[in-house]
Structure 1
Amino acid sequence: MNSARQNPLGDQEPQGDIFMQSTFIRLAAAAMLSVSAGAVLAQDAPAPETVNITILAAGDMDSFDTGVDGPRGGFARLNALAKAERAANPNMLYLYSGDMISPSLLSGIDGGANTVVLTNLVPFDVAVPGNHEFDFGPEVFLERAGESVFPWTAVNISSPDGSPIKGLSTEPVIKEIAGVKVGIVPVATDETPELSSPGDYKFAPTVESAIAGADAVLEQGADIVIALVHASHPQDEAMYNSGKFDLILSGHDHDYRIHYNDIVGYVETSNDANLLTAIDLAITVTPENGDTKRSVTWRPNFRFIDTATVEPDPDTAAKIAEFQTQLDAELNVEIGTLSNEMSSVRAVVRGEESAWGNLITDGIKSATGADVAMYSGGGIRGDKVYPAGHVLTRKDVFTEMPFGNKVVLATVSGADLLLALENGFSQVEAGAGRFPQVSGIKVEADLTKAAGSRVTMVEVNGAPLDPAAMYKLATSHFQLNGGDGYTMLKNGETLVNESAGGLDASTVINYVTALGGTVDAKVEGRITLKR
């Protein structure tokens, strides 16, 4: 057997069915692990038993109605697939790797209650919270968790005083299936305080917490150890290389990936259940030396599933139709016609000036009387192209701005404004959501330079930025509170706070309506990047 550790984030392509074999010997009492090409059994050892377990994991369900008009994905197909897999094999684990309460269009209105209704129809065995679970604050997450008929668990989240969090377990999970003990270590991303709004909750380091959780389930006699994580690719890689896990099931990056190196398997599903992987484990357990030692041999089959082949679950589809009817009645109101093509494609709003970014920042700047406006590209979520001539509706705007952020106003120094721009351009290569869409600002940045030293020119309303001057900045309350790394904005004086600020989507709708029917937003050279 090849025991070399390989990079799970390399050029591995989805391979459909993959059959390989790993052998593990675990000591139940001492939690010791060794790996060999085959288990050598005494002649009088009990006959081995093979248990077949299917694992289906999903994550990053960003929209309640994905797949209704498209060829694949969505809750209706996901629920149908989960039902079918459980019917085919009752020894099935159904897991969720985070992000569903937000950021769908409807979630911006009902705080994610719709997603709990849909997932309660076919409940998960375990779900780990993603960063978007906290977009509406910890209170709303706990409300949604309380409505869930499945458990939410993360070993690395704690309350400020260390007291238990009602509705969120912080212990790893042991599931015994036909005599096989499956240890599940659910871990949230430690970047949640920067990416979302979890209040005072503490997030211990993701990788270290996962490893500690693996040790804990091994001490409890786990035969198979699974990391169920909402984590970045580098964190996935560190866990993969740790030697602590048999399977790593990850969400967060929206990339479909499968990798297996004869020892550990790594799977990340695409967002919105477009492409999924069912993992069939043939697990052979042979007792040795009484109950103190057992040989565990497992063979995985990774089944690639394009959900375009899955017929939507009718009960789920009916519930989604109810939600759509409610939304359409309120939001299918025309507000203006586009003069130009406008893109909200993820790579665009997170990597360059965009017409949508210009429209949004112009809108919040106008509404507040600010000198400048800044809005994280990661807050623009439609991921689509609107052609010139498209009739914009309220629904379009709420689709693009689903987080329910409030528009706030603060005075910030030119020095802090420069730091904010540096932060915004610091992770362009990673497609980070902090990319700054701007109004009242013209900026040039050299992405070949080190992060923190990339901005080469800034003008504010046609004049060079003065580090000593004070500027009125309109932005989202998320950014003003330090989200997406914008901690320097907290140095300013808040003039309009979250309580007094208007909803960002409503602010843009009012701005577009006031334009009188024509929306002329376009890319106009506000941001120039050297790559």
Structure 2
Amino acid sequence: MKRKLLAVLLAMSMVFVPAAVSAEENTRTTEDNITDMKISDNGITDITIYHTNDTHGYLTGDGTDVVGMALVGGLKEADPDSILVDAGDATQGLPIASLTQGNDVIELMNLAGYDLMTAGNHEFDFGTEAFLKNVRLADFPVLAANIYKDGAPLLKGVQEGNSGCHTIIERNGKKIGFFGLTTVQTATATNPSGISDLEFLEETEIAKDEIDELEAADVDAIVAVCHLGNGDAPCTAPELAESLTGAYEGKVDAIIDGHSHTLENETVNGVQIVQTGYGMSAVGELTLTFTGEEVTAVTEKLLKPSDLNQIRPSSSVEEKLQQITDSQADLLQEKAGEAQTTLWAGWIGDIAMTRLVETNYGNFAADAFLNAGTAIVQSNGTEEEKQMPVIAVENGGGIREAVANGTITKGDLISTFPFSNTLYMKKITPAVLYQMMEQSGSLLAGQDQNTGMLLQKQISGGFLQIGGFKVVFNPDGENGNRVVSVTLDGQKKALDRNDTKTAILLVSNNYIMSGGNDYTMLADLPKYREAGGELETIQEYLKQCLAQGIMDQYAGTQGRISYTGSVYQPKDYTVSVKITDEAGVPLENKELSYRVDGGKRTNGTTDAQGLLKIQVSDGGHGIRLSDAQKEIYVDNYTGLGIAEDDLRQIPVLTFLSDGSCDPIADETEGETEKNPPSEEPKIPNDQTEKENKNPETNMETVSESEAVKTGDESFLIFWVIVSGAGAAGIVLLTAKVKQKI
């Protein structure tokens, strides 16, 4: 096999900027155009590979942000000589995926015409047997060459004619060999207890074995479909490409990637690496160009919904999607309660709050676990156990979506907690708790001394939301020494980090308790009790909070997680919110009223640039004008509302003309005191008491102009640091990195 690789990047200025697809470039949008001959008179042959990754249940297209499975199916129908592949994390996520543990997703992929997929880490969220059921349902090969069971490839023989490691697809007289790799990080990036029977082998050596196998089959090109990413996995896609040296140099033409939720389109060691981001926001179009027997070009386009507006969606996929939606509608729309303020989770642009800072949804979830665990101990524990403190944690990556202010449905809760986890209880000591919190803060990497904005390259789904105690981090500290103190609720003295004797009862989901997200200090501890299902516990706690009228106490945050760097101390700060009319025009010098965290309505006036400046207390807050509109989120630690740069923009609210945003008539009635942090919620049934105080400070409030200025300066300084390390485009958070790791 003769092969020469010439990788061509399209409109790329850095890793995270997708190849631009102009109207002129994207001419193959009708069936007649797409099915034109791809073998030219001069012997040049093009093979098109469409690819998706990390769809996570985003299967219904909206024409703007989500391509959707029906359009993917239509694209394949319009280009039947193409190859359609997925790079993993397809069978878990939104309710349409999670309610059937991925079964419905596989049926939709069958109808859409997928030719193969590689298993992602979240394919294993429901355990090995659930994954294998999905593999058997698939009409296409599912690959995972480096996952073994009982000394053999896990997927060998599960599907008729599929080795489970590689497959060969022939198009236009060319044989394309594909092999699949799943990150070894899966061992801790999904529920470890559900996959304890599996072994994840190091990726690079397995890749070389697969290359040997495909070369022996005399393929014309080799493509790796991987779930590795370019983040913090032990072996990333770029590292895999770099490892292909010597006899393996130039043997792989492309790596179709997933896992890190980034936009990849770069050449590393002669290998083109591509990834489409997250949530089916785009479909990748990878083209292999053959001149004679050689691969002479590999090019990539990113196709967004607007680039596919001439494609006819697949009618069979649309019909199946409608059937699934109809069957789930009544369940998902069932009302679970009301919230006066948004429960914050998920992503705001490139910021994932629960993976970086305390949020009210994180507090709510941890308290739900705490409530359930306390009830079990008080009902079934010994007298000694009843005197033990009970605490709870939830990994931020397990709180997937926010719930907007207003009605909370069962579907909202399922979208937020899609993993069907079980709550475990274990006895730990203060020493173990300190180890846990050091792991939780292991990616912290500095803090702006004026605004408090956190500066770090990446985030982790293993960042813990907490209940029953408080933690103070020093983001400027060295790894392993970032926890300043851990203090149980109701106590003034911090726990001794060297105490290996005092017993504490911890409640968390089985994912964390089994060592997920590298909480290995918990994995081998004996299980004390089970405390019910995660989702069911959340639902029951919501019901209790509503019945006792304490749901509004979850507005804002309570200072459970504090960041006290070498200079910065928690304090009030000023945010800027852009106010526009319904046509999007900024409103200057406009009088209005607003609410912070669903609190009392307060009057305010925009400035000459249409900015409303509001002083709030340390931490995250939700702000709205009209009670009918969704809130926006501000937070000094994430920089939202205080800085504007490539990753953050000043939030925008619309002034509605229906009178709902007008100033209140009796201004004294709406006055508040700088929107102080909410009190710690009173756990239903008075099962525990909480302190209500945040860290106190007498420092002056930073003005909005100073906050924006210092935020920009922090960004520029950090940009210089990471650019020098070859990671251009990263500040605070890696753009679009949405992994649960």
TM-score with structure 1 setting the length: 0.84
In structure 2, stretches of 5+ residues that fail to align are 23-40, 375-388, 445-456, 566-741
Aligned residue number for residue 524 of structure 1: 558
1:370-409 mapped onto 2 (5 Å cutoff) = 371-382=390-401, 384=402, 386-387=404-405, 390-409=406-425
Distance in 2 between the 1:399 and 1:12 partners? 27
- 1:152 and 2:142 equivalent? yes
Q: Is the 8 A contact 1:102 1:132 kept in 2?
A: yes
Partners of 2:5 and 2:297 within 8 A in 1: no
> Structure 1 residues 465, 493: closer, same or farther in 2, change over 3 A?
farther
**Against the structure 1 CA distance between its residues 12 and 524, is the aligned structure 2 distance closer, same or farther, given a 3 Å change threshold?**
closer
Give the whole-Å Cα distance in 1 for the aligned partners of 2:202 and 2:533: 33
Q: Is 1:192 equivalent to 2:211 in the alignment?
A: no
Partner residue in 1 for 2:652: none
Distance 2:212 2:564 in 1: 47
Q: Does 1:183 align with 2:183?
A: no
Q: Which residue of 1 is the match for residue 297 of structure 2?
A: 299
Question: In 2, Cα distance between the equivalents of 1:365 and 1:230?
Answer: 35
- TM-aligned CA distance change 1:317 to 1:450, over 3 Å: farther
Q: Report the CA distance between 1:9 and its aligned residue.
A: 11
- What is the identity, as a one-letter code, of the residue corresponding to 1:331? L
SS of the residue corresponding to residue 532 of structure 2 reads coil
Is 1:324 the counterpart of 2:325? The answer is yes
Segment drifting more, 485-494 vs 412-421: 485-494
**Matches of residues 483-498 of structure 1 in structure 2 within 5 Å?**
483-497=516-530
Structure 1 residues 331 and 164, CA gap change in structure 2 (3 angstroms): closer
Contact 1:152/1:167 (<8 A) preserved:
no
Q: Which amino acid aligns with 1:274?
A: S
Residue of structure 2 equivalent to 1:167: 158
SS at match of 2:49: strand
- Which residue of 2 is the match for residue 135 of structure 1? 125
CA–CA distance in structure 2, aligned partners of residues 410 and 12 of structure 1: 42
- Note the 1:101-500 alignment, pairs <5 A: 101-162=91-152, 165=155, 166-167=157-158, 169-197=163-191, 198-233=195-230, 235-241=236-242, 242=244, 243=249, 244-260=251-267, 263-286=270-293, 296-310=294-308, 312-346=313-347, 347-369=352-374, 371-382=390-401, 384=402, 386-387=404-405, 390-427=406-443, 429-463=457-491, 464-466=494-496, 467=499, 468-497=501-530
Residue 15 (1) aligns with residue 19 (2)? yes
Letter of the aligned partner of 1:60 in structure 2?
Answer: D
Secondary structure at the aligned position of 2:168 is classed as: strand
State the secondary structure of the residue aligned to 1:373.
strand
User: 1:512 — aligned with what?
Assistant: 542
Shift of the alpha carbon at 1:364?
A: 1.1
- Measure the CA separation in 1 of the matches of 2:42 and 2:209: 30
Segments ≥4 residues shifted beyond 6 Å: 1-6
Structure whose CA Rg is larger: 2
The question of whether the paired residues in 2 share the 8 Å contact of 1:17 and 1:301 is answered with no
1:435, distance to aligned residue in structure 2 (A): 0.6
Aligned residues of 1:3 and 1:261 also touching (Cα < 8 A): no
Q: How does 1:1-150 map to 2 (within 5 A)?
A: 10-11=14-15, 13-16=17-20, 49-68=43-62, 71-86=65-80, 90=81, 92-150=82-140
Q: Distance in 2 between matches of 1:462 and 1:170?
A: 55
- Partner-residue secondary structure (3-state), 2:292: strand
Decide whether the 8 Å contact of 2:221 with 2:295 is kept in 1: no
Contact persistence 1:94–1:126 (CA under 8 A): yes
For residue 729 of structure 2, what is the aligned residue in structure 1? none
Give distance in 2, aligned partners of 1:529 and 1:55.
47
User: Residue type matched to 1:513 in 2?
Assistant: K
The change in CA–CA distance for 1:279 and 1:315 in structure 2 (over 3 A counts) is same
Amino acid at match of 2:475: L
For residues 64 and 300 of structure 2, the distance between their equivalents in structure 1, rounded to whole angstroms, comes to 25
CA drift at 1:68: 5.0
User: In the TM superposition, what is the alpha-carbon distance from 1:162 to its structure 2 partner?
Assistant: 2.8
Quote the offset at 1:10 in angstroms.
Answer: 4.7
Q: 1:404 to 1:262 in 2, by over 3 A?
A: closer
State how far apart, in whole Å, the 2-side matches of 1:9 and 1:69 are. Answer: 27
Taking only the aligned residue pairs, the percentage that are identical comes to 24
Cα pair 1:63 1:272 within 8 Å, conserved: yes
1:72, CA displacement in angstroms? 2.5
The alpha carbon displacement at 1:414 in A equals 1.5
RMSD: 2.8
* CA shift for structure 1 position 65: 4.5
User: Is the 2:254–2:298 Cα contact (8 Å) retained in structure 1?
Assistant: no
Displacement of 1:213 = 2.1
Deviations 1:32-90 (CA, angstroms, capped at 9, x unpaired): xxxxxxxxxxxxxxx9733221111111111154435964232222222222232xxx1
Change (3 A) 1:69 1:172: closer
Q: Which moved more, 1:272-281 or 1:213-222?
A: 213-222
Cα separation, 1, equivalents of 2:431 and 2:268: 49
* CA-to-aligned-CA distance 1:86-115 (integer Å, 9 cap, x gap): 2xxx1x221110011112224433211111
Q: Tell me, what secondary structure is at the counterpart of 2:67?
A: coil
Distance in structure 2 (CA, Å) of the matches to 1:527 and 1:5: 47
Q: Secondary structure at the match of 2:99?
A: helix
TM-score with structure 2 setting the length: 0.61
Deviations 1:327-375 (A, max 9, x none): 2212322222213232212411111111111111111110110711001
Could you tell me which residue of structure 1 aligns to residue 718 of structure 2?
Answer: none
Tell me the CA shift for residue 315 of structure 1: 2.6
Quick one: structure 1 residues 356 and 58, their matched pair in 2 at CA, closer, same or farther if it must change by over 3 Å? same
AA aligned opposite 2:71 = R
Counterpart Cα distance in 1 of 2:106 and 2:54: 14
Judge conservation of contact 1:79–1:313 (CA < 8 Å) in 2. Answer: yes
Deviation at 1:405, TM superposition (A): 0.3
CA deviation digits over 1:141-165, x for unaligned, max 9?
0011111111111110110343764
**In structure 1, what is the Cα distance between the partners aligned to 2:490 and 2:205?**
49
Inter-partner Cα distance in structure 1 for 2:63 and 2:540: 29
Deviates more, 1:67-76 or 1:416-425: 67-76
Residues in 2 aligned to 1:398 and 1:316: alpha-carbon distance in whole angstroms = 23
